[in-house]
Amino acid sequence: MINQKPAKLILANGKIFNGFSLGKIGQSTGEVCFNTGMTGYQEILTDPSYCGQLITMTYPHIGNYGVNEEDIESNQIYAKGLIVKESCDFPSNYRSQGTLNQYLKKNHITGIQGIDTRYLTRIIRDEGSMNGIISSNNLNEKELQQKLSKHPLMNGLDLAKVVTCKQRYSWNKNDKGYKIAAIDYGIKHNILRLLASHGCRIEIFPAKSSLDDILSFKPQGIFLSNGPGDPSAVTYGVKLVKELLKINLPLFGICLGHQILSLALGAKTYKLKFGHRGCNHPVKNIQNNIVEITSQNHGFSIENKTLPNNIIITHTSLNDQTIEGIECKNKNAFSVQYHPESSPGPHDSRYLFDKFINLIKKNKKEYA
């Protein structure tokens, strides 16, 4: 049953959608994007990579299986708002502990429902990502458009510094495991769970940590996490990775970490028209000629023509042929653009964590 309190979504191109309130009564401004997943809305909302964004779910009915305390990927909701066709008020699942609407209210997130999300998605696909504002407490269109016009664009925006941890911390206390220093640009819990399942001892460091901070842990491997915003704005991250590459410890990056590694190696990034977001994106592994179905969430990509000669492309998108993975020929470093921890999503790419551990084992033998 749709809440009958009116709400509006206004896009930067002037298009206005009239719907009904979802979650907290209020206003929220951000970049409007769309996610093609049918499930995983709670993991998506709590993925720090969605910081600063209003998420449109293309599947029409969201919230069918409710929410629970287990399906979260960080300590809060980082998305600025949620846009759905219809939110389910009566979820049916044995794990459910509440409704999506209740969850958004509890976390002070403003959303909208009851609009044509197919039409909204077509606009974004045709015209590209753009800012938008959701409001359920003020329906004055001129006032909302004025507020929207002042909201910053995603280009040039450093959001890693917003979502990163304030100080280093330990994920587990496995003193006998491989010591992994994870740089937190917006890390997800399932990444840490998978590294821990491989017997790793993980120390998480803030995005602005120095090389001395990292090396004080005496790591055997470096992990560069996912995260939000424009990678070229994370200059401190690029500087740190350049320093880490000189030491040549095994290094594995995903999503924003992949982009930061690429920038540190000399490549350039650019903003995609509408990004890749969903848990059903086909990627070709060039090395073994196998297609993987992947979970993705990124609005920027690597410029193919700017890759230096010591970088090889390992994965490409079958949707638009953009770069999805790289390896460095003369360094113990590799990365992928997508989310191999797959929460939510298929498990096709979890072998990459095995690859990282094997690289650490090999490096340990070489430098023993």
- Give the residue numbers annotated as catalytic, written as ranges: 255, 339, 341
Q: What are phi and psi of 155, to 5 degrees?
A: -60, 125
C-alpha 33/C-alpha 48 separation (Å) is 15
Is cis: bond before 344, omega within 30 of 0?
yes
**15 touches 155 (CB < 8 A):** no
Q: Could you give the C-alpha distances from 340 to 253, 336, 350, in angstroms and in order?
A: 10, 8, 5
C-alpha 263/C-alpha 38 separation (Å) is 33
**DSSP state, 153?**
P
Q: Taking Cα atoms as reference points, which of 303, 311, 308 lies closest to residue 270? A: 303
Q: What are phi and psi of 135, to 5 degrees?
A: -145, 135
